[in-house]
């Protein structure tokens, strides 16, 4: 009975140490952040303000109705290491891409949205 209690206590003590997780996220390319996006004003912000605030877009799309869409991209990598106490370790890398699309009509911002992809 005493040996079983010691074994149970030892198992509970070691359980907390069996799995380790270490995570690190680092930006690769950042063109904008949430604070920048929150300053966009529909119907007020114009092309020059957007260019000054965000720089040159990676893509410009023009449509027959006069609508223009500028795209900006942020990329970051996340490295997560999961280990089982002194037995093995797995390193998982993922990439996150966020694309900000800004739509202009008659030279002013008419809409904007953010899309997120994970690889």
Token pair listed for 44: 């007020």
The confidence score (pLDDT) of residue 91 equals 75
The confidence score (pLDDT) of residue 26 equals 79
- What residues does 76 pair with on adjacent strands? 27, 96
Contact 70, 57 (CB under 8 A): yes
pTM exceeds 0.75 for this model: no
The confidence score (pLDDT) of residue 85 equals 60
User: Tens place of pLDDT for every residue, the chain, 119 residues?
Assistant: 656 656 555 555 555 555 666 677 777 778 878 888 999 999 999 999 999 999 999 999 999 999 999 999 999 887 777 776 666 677 778 888 999 999 999 999 999 999 998 77
The confidence score (pLDDT) of residue 95 equals 85
User: What is the C-alpha separation between 104 and 9, in angstroms, rounded?
Assistant: 65
The confidence score (pLDDT) of residue 34 equals 86
């Amino acid at each position: 009975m005493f040996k079983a209690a010691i074994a149970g206590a030892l198992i509970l003590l070691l359980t907390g140490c069996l799995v380790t997780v270490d995570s690190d996220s680092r930006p690769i390319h950042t063109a904008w952040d949430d604070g920048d996006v929150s300053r966009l004003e529909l119907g007020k912000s114009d092309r020059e303000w957007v260019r000054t605030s965000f720089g040159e877009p990676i893509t410009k799309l023009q449509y027959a109705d006069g609508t223009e869409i500028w795209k900006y991209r942020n990329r970051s990598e996340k490295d997560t290491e999961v280990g089982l106490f002194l037995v093995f370790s797995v390193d998982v890398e993922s990439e996150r891409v966020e694309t900000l699309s800004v739509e202009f009509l008659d030279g002013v911002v008419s809409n904007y949205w953010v899309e997120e992809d994970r690889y």
